[in-house]
Amino acid sequence: MTGSAPRLEAWQDPAAAPLVAIKGVSKSFDRQAAVSDVSLAIYPGEFFSLLGASGCGKTTLLRLLAGFERPDQGRLLIAGQDVTELPPYQRPVNMMFQSYALFPHLSVADNVGFGLRQEGLPRRDIRVRVAEMLDMVKLGSFAQRKPDQLSGGQRQRVALARSLIKHPKLLLLDEPLAALDRKLREHTQFELVNIQERVGITFIMVTHDQEEAMTMSTRMAVMNEGRIRQIGTPVEIYEFPANRFVAGFIGAVNQFEGRALAQAGDVLQVYAESAGTELRVHVPQAVVAGSPVVVAVRPEKVRLGREPPPGDNRLQGTVEEIAYLGDVSVYHLRVAGGALIEAQLTNHTRGAAPPLTWGDRAWVGWNADDAFALVE
Amino acid sequence: MRRRSAPWLRRFRPGRWVVAAVPLLWLGLFFGLPFFIVVRISLSETVIGLPPYSALLEWIEGGMLSIRLNFANFALLWQDSLYLDAFINSVRVAATATLLCLLLGYPMALGIARARQSLRIPLLLLVILPFWTSFLIRVYAWIGILKGNGLANNVLLWIGWIEQPLPLLHTDFAVHLGIVYGYLPFMVLPLYATLSRMDSSLLEAAADLGCRPSRAFWRVTVPQSRPGILAGSLLVFVPAVGEFVIPDLLGGPDTLMIGKVLWSEFFNNRDWPVAAAVAVALLVLLVAPVLLFERLRERAQPR
Amino acid sequence: MNGKRPSLVFSLLAFGYAFLYAPIVSLIVYSFNESRLVTVWAGFSTKWYVSLLHNDQLLGAAWVSLRIAVMNATLAVVLGALAATALVRFGRFRGRPALALMVGAPLVMPDVILGLASLLLFVAMEQLIGWPAGRGMTTITIAHVTFSLAYVAVIVQSRLVRQDPSLEEAAMDLGARPWKVFFVITLPLIAPALAAGWLLAFTLSLDDLVIASFVSGPGASTLPMVVYSSVRLGISPEINALATVLVVLVTSGIAIAGWLLHRREARRQLAE
């Protein structure tokens, strides 16, 4: 999704004006903080995801933007306009609900045209625009159906059409794909991105599914307990997590707690007891010797074999578990220091016997550049 | 973090205020306030006039406000065995009838809940249907059946079970029968509501763990339906305690029930303060079950 | 299901229905009896229906009851819907416990207490502010609304609870103002509950003897009051005829409603 040209993205351009500016927003329910002191800038044309477990405050943040909740503190700006006090029906924002919230007593066409009718547009114009919109979501022949006569996927597209028809500056999507089954969900992910590129509207999507957030977004924010833990592109979030929470939340990761020993250039030596040895890890900034450091490495970056693999870090251990997942196999190796290290092997050859089995002695290794250090 | 309430309503205070205030005012004025008036009048003296009770507060000469509380009405309730007996008898009759309702209503609700999907709504409608026809007329129907020369006695004589017509009407039996008949739908509906919501896999799990159907019924079904049992019992018991029409039409002269006593104090003796005192005593008796019912209802609402 | 229990359950179910319907059937059968006596079947006759048609007292009372019932049902639906909306959609607010209690209590409160309390209120109000002057249809309607609005509120409440709150939010998100949301979205969606509530309130009012007896005045005898005084005097085949008319009206009403629902369902399936 990232362009190959060395073009400056909007969020990297200090001159760019954000479409949405969330400034120090807090909201609590019954004295329980749902969103605390969140600040965020989202730029025109972005597909931005709010990712987190249920109850992390992502939906509340979305509802604050839609105007269904009002912040206890902070301001919300959309296209430079302060909308904090505006009711939902006056905001240049539309929302697609998790339940789709299709009006059960209205036909598909009336559902889609509902927003235009509120603007008092002539009936003829409404009909034309509804027909266009339904064609775009490939539901042209379903205009006269009622929502309960549609399949889940069709309902989802009606909800999308209804929320896009007013050409809002910003579309909010609350778990738009959660109700679809897996196959349809994957297909719809791409369709949704295509539609977003075609209509050129900025999307903010709430999701708990990291894969969904990774495939669809230009940038994402990982939330936990009402706070944003990291904002970045999918690559940044996955390869350069800012803290242990983000590292652990997205994908699998091997973590070793240790202490910094010495630093040579941008390679830091860390003694990690659980690894039973010194580890080398790439750290751009200077780290004071003796300070606690967590060394982390993703399983697919770990090489595994009977012979010591090349790399800056090498550990020997015993295979304790093997999980065959089809495309890859996951191995768990117990090393001398006591840590259980996860490594992934791609199954290149069909039906090949696994190179290692339970109880085998084996080596794992990785380069300093492929690991990251979390200093907290 | 999703709230059931609509927070946007919180912002539009005037509209929101009216929506809540109108029913609150109506109920406060016509339902809440009258209870205070009942209490007030139960503490006044009976006088001949209109209205037939004395004032509680009086300006006596010299600008002093005097309050005269008259507890004689309550003392009468305590001393005259008529009232106490009527209270005890009402509770006894209502409790017995409630139990009978439960015994008949539970299998009915269970049968409907376990019937084929397409049959459930018609079966349920058949339970509700009599409720839509006049209560008074349904009670009246029993007079024709229970009379000395009524249908029941004629049938019994005809099959030869009895030789003399039984005295059925104007007995406690008739009162029990009438209450069970009149209030059965109120028992069946809440029971059906809980039983139909019950997860059938619970029974399968019980069977899978080696529980016989009869034991599963007592160990799983009955405990699961407790809210329904309680709600249904309260819906029958509380109004039955104060029932007037059934004991009046089906009961005998010696059927003492408090609703009938209140009625005759009011209409026959025109003794409003004593009638009010009876009402207050009845209310005190029913406060606990009414509050319990209210709590049940609140808890049944997902929020 | 195996074992004896289901058959026991279903025979009790059958007994229950027989118990519920036997009296009604006997009423209907004897309404066509030539004789005044219930004991003797003296041949088929519709003469009690004819005499019912000429019973001015009964017909007058029915007219009074009908007017009260319509007025009551309409007011109760408005107030009950407001109460239900407040209880379901407003979360916690200061008057909520009081409102919840006053909506719940009339469902179980004995009629005699409601009747006496309402009467004493009206008497006190008349003394204090001169309204309501005397008692009659107005006071009966007020007392009926007070307890039947609770039933309406319960029906509407259960409908609102099941309704996705996002529907109203979605309408607002698409630019509808709150009052428009109410008329375009909320009202059509709760309309079936409102209709059911209206019918129930109508029936409750038409059916009430005790409360009406307390709060009525001269010249405002409702149908149950007249029936009661005639029943006290003994069996009257005219009442049987009246009961039959009521049963037929109610049954056909429900049958029509069921048929309409069925037809809508069938049309829906046809569209697919």
Taking CA atoms, A356 is separated from A183, A275, A300, A307, A363, in Å, by: 33, 21, 17, 12, 11
Whether C140 shows a pLDDT value over 80: the answer reads yes
Report d(CA A150, CA A146) in Å as an integer. Answer: 7
Q: Is B238 on the interface with C (CB under 8 A)?
A: yes
Query: Which residues have a Cβ under 8 Å from the Cβ of A79 and sit 6 or more positions away?
Result: A19, A92, A169
Indicate if the pLDDT at residue B219 is higher than 90: no
Q: Which domains does chain A have, with CATH numbers?
A: 10-247 (3.40.50.300), 255-374 (2.40.50.140)
Q: What is the pLDDT of residues B234-281, one digit of tens each?
A: 999 999 999 999 999 998 888 889 999 999 988 888 888 888 999 999
Q: Please answer whether residues A170 and A78 qualify as being in contact, where contact means their C-beta atoms are separated by less than 8 angstroms.
A: yes
- C-alpha distance from A223 to closest chain C C-alpha (Å): 23
Higher pLDDT, B211 or A227: A227
| C91 at A interface, C-beta within 8 A | no
Q: CA-to-CA distance for C215 and C115, rounded, in angstroms?
A: 7
Per-residue confidence (pLDDT) for residue B2, from 0 to 100: 40
Residue B21 has pLDDT above 60, yes or no: yes
Share of chain B above pLDDT 90, in %: 28
Residue B302 above 80 pLDDT?
no
Q: What is the pLDDT of residues A89-145, one digit of tens each?
A: 999 999 999 999 999 999 999 999 999 999 999 999 999 999 999 999 999 999 999
Structural domains of chain C, with CATH: 50-271 (1.10.3720.10)
Cβ distance of A115 and C175 shorter than 8 Å: yes
Is A174's Cβ below 8 Å from some Cβ in B? no
Mean pLDDT of chain B: 83
**DSSP E strands, chain B:** 57-60, 64-67
CA distance C74 to chain A (A): 24
Query: What's the whole-number mean pLDDT along residues C156-176?
Result: 91
Chains touching C (at least 3 CB pairs under 8 A) are A, B
- Rounded to the nearest angstrom, the minimum Cα separation between C96 and chain A is 17
Q: What is the mean pLDDT of residues B185-214?
A: 86
Domains annotated for chain B, with CATH where assigned, are: 80-270 (1.10.3720.10)
The overall average pLDDT reported for chain C is 87
| pLDDT at residue number A348 | 87
Angle at B14 between CA B13 and CA B16, to 5 degrees: 65
Enumerate the H helices of B114-171 as residue ranges: 117-132, 135-146, 151-159
Chains that touch A (3 or more CB pairs under 8 A): B, C
Q: Specify whether the backbone of B208 is left (phi greater than 0), alpha (psi in -120 to 50) or beta.
A: alpha
Contact, B70 vs B44, CB < 8 A? yes
pTM of the model: 0.83
**Contact (CB<8Å) C120/B34:** yes
Q: Which pLDDT score is estimated for C4?
A: 46
Give the residue ranges of chain A where pLDDT is below 50.
Answer: 1-5
Which whole number is the average pLDDT over B214-224? 85
* pLDDT band at residue B62 under the 50/70/90 scheme: low
Residue C3: which pLDDT band, with cuts at 50, 70 and 90? very low
Please report all neighbours of B, defined by 3+ CB atom pairs within 8 A: A, C
Q: Tell me the per-residue pLDDT of B142-152, one tens digit each, with 9 for 90 and over.
A: 988 888 777 88
pLDDT at position B48: 62
Residue in the block written with tokens 């959309």? A78
Q: Which of A221, A241, A183, A177 is nearest to A65 (CA)?
A: A221
Contact residues for C155 (Cβ-Cβ < 8 A; gap 6+): C80, C84, C193, C196, C197, C200
Kindly indicate the confidence band of residue C5, based on its pLDDT and cuts at 50, 70 and 90.
low
Residue B209: Cβ within 10 Å count:
8
Task: Identify the helix (H) or strand (E) that includes residue A230.
Answer: strand A227-232
Determine contact: B303 vs chain A, CB below 8 A: no
pLDDT of residue A376: 64
Q: What is the reported pLDDT for B130?
A: 82
- Percent of chain A at pLDDT above 90? 73
Q: In what order do the strands lie in the sheet with A32-42?
A: A32-42, A20-29, A73-78, A81-82
| Dihedral over alpha carbons B163, B167, B173, B178 (to 10 degrees) | 110
Q: How far apart are CA A125 and CA A138, in angstroms?
A: 20
Band of the pLDDT at C11, cuts 50, 70, 90?
confident
**A349's tokens:** 């050859």
Q: How many residues does chain A have?
A: 376
Percentage above 70 pLDDT, chain B:
86
Residue C179: pLDDT over 50: yes
Question: A166 in contact with C at a CB cutoff of 8 Å?
Answer: yes
Contact A68 B2 (CB under 8 A): no
Where residue B93 falls among pLDDT bands split at 50, 70, 90? very high
Q: Give residues with Cβ within 8 angstroms of B190, minimum separation 6.
A: B227, B228, B231, B232, B235
Express each pLDDT in A133-161 by its tens digit: 999 999 999 999 999 999 999 999 999 99
